Every structure is written in structure tokens, then in C-alpha cells.
Structure 1
Amino acid sequence: MNLAPIVLFVYNRPWHTQQTVEALQKNELAKDSELFIYSDEAKNENARENVDKVRKYIDKIEGFKKVTIIKREKNWGLADSIIDGVTKIINKYGKVIVLEDDLVTSPYFLKFMNEGLEVFQKREDIFSITGFSFSSSFMKFPKGYEEDIYLNIRPMSWSWGTWKDRWQDIDWEIKGFNDFANNKNAINEFNKGGTDLFGMLKLQMENKLDSWYIRWTYNAYLKKQYTVYPKISFVNNVGHDNSGVHCSVDTKNIYSHTELNNNSNFVLNNDITLNKKIIDSFNKGFNVKFKSKIKKYIKRLFKI
């Protein structure tokens, strides 16, 4: 199998970065994978000390086929850094696996992601692959559901992989937004991926938000493409401690998992289809948990 390069984006959280890297090093495919690390420059002097600590740590990383470190000379911010970094790597390798600095992975995360990128590459209705899945307190699967994966209309930023042809086709400027914003049926359809989506996109277009994720998600909606999720998560997000801009302790119990998926014998069914009951459960969990808090979290719910 031709392994996808791993692209890791870090900033000013040394402890979280270390947890992410150490978990990756334990992956059975780590030693055969190339790792690219993008380190953003400090936004201000308050961030300087921890940015330097992160850079000192990543300089010593081993355990991969090759490690390439790109240290930004100015503060790009997450959106610009991800768009630029992923574009450069995916144009060269044709596919990528992307992580940020607060994601702890199972030893079989890379296996799942690489096999997913192989299995679903030719399916034009697949937008991306993620190793993350929601906790059982958030959503339920239909009785008797035996697949190891499911499809969701909402992409996930907490670990993802995609291919060059999907990525290079993204409209980052969101042309046609005004027509979309005046179409209630279209907005309702978009919000089936979560009631926060249109609000985030509107803030983005009003220059009140700088998010690669919401623009990426909107493009998946336009193309009617899905994301492949594992039934049991291969990823824990350890950033729900107010250390990051976009995650808080309030969302910890919804998304985090005490045990990661340690099954290496998963089956990736290439004939998998969208299961309406799963989407309904996702939307029910999402709306119940966030209906009263959506305004508070709209800027920080996901990595944006």
C-alpha cells in the first residue's frame, strides 16, 4: 500500500503536541510514514514561550520514515496555514492524512486512514475519511447495525484524509453565497449536518470568522459528498481544557472517549450507503446538546 503522508499542525501547546506525537509513534505504520509538521509563529509575546517549547520538542521527533518541519516566520493562523500546507503536500503526494496538536490516536489509526483512502478513492460520492467518531452519549446506532463504518454528511476536522482531486476542487471564496443565503430550503438542507453550519458560514462571509473548516464543509454539501467515519473512534480529542481557542471543558463529555478503537480487523465496506437513522440520531444528539448554547459555541465548536 502506498502510504499517505501525515501533516500535523502545531502552535503553542507543548503538552498536547507531545501526546499527539507519542500516540502517532505507537502506530504500526508510523515507521513507514512521512511526517510533515507545520509550526505557526507566535501571534504575540504571550505565546512566544510555548511556541518555542513546541519547536524545541518537534526538532527531536523520531520514529517515522522521514520528518520534515516547516516553521512559519510569521503567524499565519490555522485557516491559512492548513489551506497552504495541505495544498503543498497533496499536490506532491496525491493524498494526505491531517492532524492537529490535540488529537491522540489509536495504534491502528494510520491503518484505518490509509486503508480508507485506498478503498474509497474511486467513489465520487466520498469527500473525506476521518478516524474520529462521536461518543455513545452523543449518538446511537440502529439496533443490529454491524458495519465498522458509517457515512455522515458532515466532514470532521479532528483527523481527516482526502485526495488531491477533492481538495483542488474546493471553492474557498464561496462564490454564489448570496443566492444560497436567500434560499431557505438550501439552508435547511445544509444544516442537516448540524444547526451551527449556516451560522458559521455567514460569519465567515461577513469576515467575522476565519475558518477553513466551514468552507470545506460547505463544499461537501454542494457536491453532495459524504465522509467515512469509524463506528468506534480511533481518535480522542484532548484539547477540551480551555488550552485551545476552539475547544472547552463544556464539550469534553460529548466528544471524548475513554477507550480508543484497538480493532485492527475492521472491514471497510466499499458499498456502504448513507443510513438515515444514523443521521437522524446524529442530528438529534447535536440539537439537544447545543440548542441552548449554539451562539456561545459557534466560533469555537470545531477547529476553525
Structure 2
Amino acid sequence: MKDYQTKSPVLFLVFNRPDTTNLVFEEIRGAKPAKLYIAADGPRAGRENDAQRCQETLAIVKNIDWDCEVKTLFRENNLGCKNAISSAIDWFFDNEEEGIILEDDCLPAKSFFYYCDTLLAKYRFDTRIRHIAGCNLQMGTKWGNDSIYFANQTHVWGWASWKRVWKDYDKDLKAYHENEVEEIFSNIFTDKLVIETWANIFKEVKAGKIDTWDYQLALINYFNNSLSINPNVNLIKNIGFREDATHTFNAESAHANLPLEEITEITYPKYVLPQKKADYAPLIHEFNLVARWKKHNSLKRRFKRWFKERFNS
């Protein structure tokens, strides 16, 4: 995969981290996309060194030395994570039918581009499939014997998709209502704590309490009974777990700097069905489920003892 040249357009999302940007840009340079879209949010007001770091980042991504059609969307003012990224992806899919999206902290394996190209073409018109994820957060667990598996969860640490999917994106979730979602999630998950957590995330995103763009994509894909393609090895290393991150602050996270692997040949599962247990694996970490299960079960036992003592004595 060393000399593989990607066939798909690539959108590169950057901001103010020249060091991580440089590492990811070098992998994009190695893949030599014929079309490269670069979107950058502007510096934040009142943040020391932000303007300088943004300029250093732009200097890196302007250094294109291969035959490439380049389109840029450089903001002078800061829009924030939610608006900057979602509008950049709008811009990308206004111009392209499909493509690959990388953020400045998502370091791809060499075969990530081959993987995305192959799957974008194979499932181009298969509306069951809405998302192609590059990362694998299963901590070594394999789901079947093939290169990929299907699941319902949407991971965006290096991904690919189609305009046909993004047209449904709704950054403010205007089409959906709070009083409906808990019942909807009970059709997707069986664990009460997972259902409650997703319903709460929905409410906070809709209320504008979370400045992000990716929960909306995940929620809308759930609501459309989406299948996501996931690699059975990890093709994306998130190198952005640190203090200056937007959301991934904890450098000790189990998902920080996961080692990269490679796919040399893509084989496909016989059955196009979600691996439901695979969706729970990253949520156990993200939603702190083990500790919450223990607390929940402890409270249930205490309630049962109280009920027995109160009404059976």
C-alpha cells in the first residue's frame, strides 16, 4: 500500500495544531488524491497564540507538491467545532458525490485510503450502508473472520461516506423530538443505561449544550436504521488526546494512540447484519458503563431489601 494513490476526493479538516496536522498531511501526501478539499476554522478571540498556530497550520496544508485539484475554505473568524466542521462537510458534499474525511488528529494507516476507495465503490448504491469507519475501538476483539464487519454505531475518526447520506444531516436535530427518542432507542439497544444516555445526549445536543457535529450524524444514522462498515483492524490512530483538544483531553484514555494495522485484502461477511455486541464495546468505555452498572445493581438490591423489609415483615 506504500505507493497506492487514492481515487476518492479527500476533505482535510484543520484548525490550530500544526504538529498533528503535519503528520496527517504527510499521509495524505503519500496517497496523492487528485482532489483535495481543505477547510480551516479561524482563530478564537482572546486566545493567546491561536492566530499564530492557525497560520502555521495553513502553511503546512498549502505545501502541495503533487498533481492535485485543491479547493480551500479558510475562515477568518472562529465558528466553533459544530458549525465549522458541519459547514465544511456541507461544502464538500455540495461538490462531490462521495469522499473521505480526515481531521487533523486522525492519523491514517497506509491502507486506509485503499479501504475507503474500495468500499465507497462497492456500496455506492446500497442504501443499507450509510457510513465507512476507519477506526477500530474493539480493543483486540475480532467480529468474524473477514476484513470488515457491520454495526450500527457511527465512528468519525477517519471516515468516508456519500452525498446521499449527508443530505439527511441536521445539525440542530430539528426533525426529531425529545419525547420520542427514548422509545426509539429501546428499539436499537436493550440496556437501560445505554438507552437513557443516548436519550440524554440527544436532548443536550438539541438544546445546544454540546458544541459538536458528530453526535448528530450518529443519531441520524441510528434513526435511519443505518449500517456502518468497520475494519477488523485499526486503520486510524487518534493523536489528539491532550490538553489543547476540543473534546479528547485524557491522554490516558484507552482509545488514545491505538496502534495502526493494515488491510492488504478486503473480504466481506456473508450476512449483511449488524454485530450488536460490537456497538456496546466502545460505549462501555465512553459511557462509563461498568461503574454505572455496579451502582445501578447495588441500588436495585438495596431497594429489594427495603421493599422486602417494609412489606413482607
TM-score (norm 2): 0.80
| In structure 2, distance between residues paired with 1:269 and 1:15 | 38
Distance in 2 (CA, whole Å) between partners of 1:126 and 1:158 is 18
2-structure distance, mates of 1:291, 1:151: 28
Distance 1:290 1:179, change over 3 A: same
Q: Go from structure 1 to structure 2 and tell me whether the alpha carbon gap of 1:96 and 1:221 turns closer, same or farther (over 3 Å shift).
A: same
Q: Is the 8 A contact 2:32 2:68 kept in 1?
A: yes
CA distance in structure 2 between the aligned counterparts of 1:271 and 1:63, rounded to whole angstroms? 41
Please give the alpha-carbon distance, in whole angstroms, between the structure 2 residues aligned to 1:18 and 1:199: 37
Task: Name the CA distance, whole Å, in 1 between partners of 2:133 and 2:239.
Answer: 17
- Give, as a single letter, the amino acid of the residue that structure 1 aligns with 2:109: S
Q: Greater relative contact order (Cα 8 A, min sep 6): structure 1 or 2?
A: 1
Q: Deviations over 1:82-115 (max 9, x none)?
A: 2222222212220121111101111111110111
- Is the 2:154–2:221 Cα contact (8 Å) retained in structure 1? yes
Q: Structure 2: how far apart are the matches of 1:273 and 1:40?
A: 38
Question: Is the aligned partner of 1:252 residue 2:250?
Answer: no
2-structure distance, mates of 1:252, 1:25: 29
Provide Cα deviations, 1:69-89, integer angstroms capped at 9, x if missing partner.
321122122221222222222
Q: Which amino acid aligns with 1:233?
A: N
CA separation in 1, counterparts of 2:190 and 2:94?
Answer: 32
Number of the residue aligned with 1:9? 13
1:199 counterpart = 2:189: no
SS at match of 2:229: strand
Q: Identity of counterpart residues, as a percentage?
A: 18
What do the CA deviations read for 1:205-235 (whole angstroms, capped 9, x no partner)?
2221232211111111111012111000111
SS in 2 for 1:253: coil
- Contact 1:120–1:270 at 8 Å: present in 2 too? no
Q: Give the 5 Å matches for 1:205-244.
A: 205-244=206-245
Aligned-partner Cα distance in 2 for 1:115–1:192: 33
Aligned residues: 282
Partners of 1:108 and 1:54 in 2: CA distance: 25
Counterpart of 1:278, as a letter, is A
Going from structure 1 to structure 2, the CA distance change for 1:135 and 1:71 (only over 3 Å counts) comes to same
| 8 Å CA contact 1:126, 1:226 repeated in 2 | yes
Corresponding residue number in structure 2 for 1:272: 272
C-alpha deviation, 1:3, in angstroms: 2.7
Distance 1:63 1:2 in 2: 13
Change over 3 Å in CA distance of 1:69–1:165 after alignment to 2 = same
Separation in 2 of the partners of 1:276 and 1:135? 13
Question: Superposition RMSD on alpha carbons, in Å?
Answer: 2.7
Q: 1:197 to 1:25 in 2, by over 3 A?
A: farther
Q: Establish whether residue 152 from structure 1 lines up as the match of residue 155 from structure 2.
A: no
Letter in 2 for 1:157: V
How far apart, CA to CA, are the structure 2 residues paired with 1:39 and 1:283? 30
Structure 1 residues 2, 271: closer, same or farther in 2, change over 3 A? Answer: farther
Q: Are the counterparts in 2 of residues 149 and 228 from structure 1 also a CA contact under 8 Å?
A: yes
Aligned to 1:262: 262
Task: Tell me which structure has the larger Cα radius of gyration.
Answer: 2
CA gap 1:38/1:284 in 2 versus in 1, 3 angstroms: closer
Q: TM-score, normalised by structure 1?
A: 0.82
> Where do 5+ consecutive residues of structure 1 fail to align?
293-304
Unmatched segments (≥5 aa) in structure 2: 293-313
Deviating more after overlay: 84-93 vs 214-223: 84-93
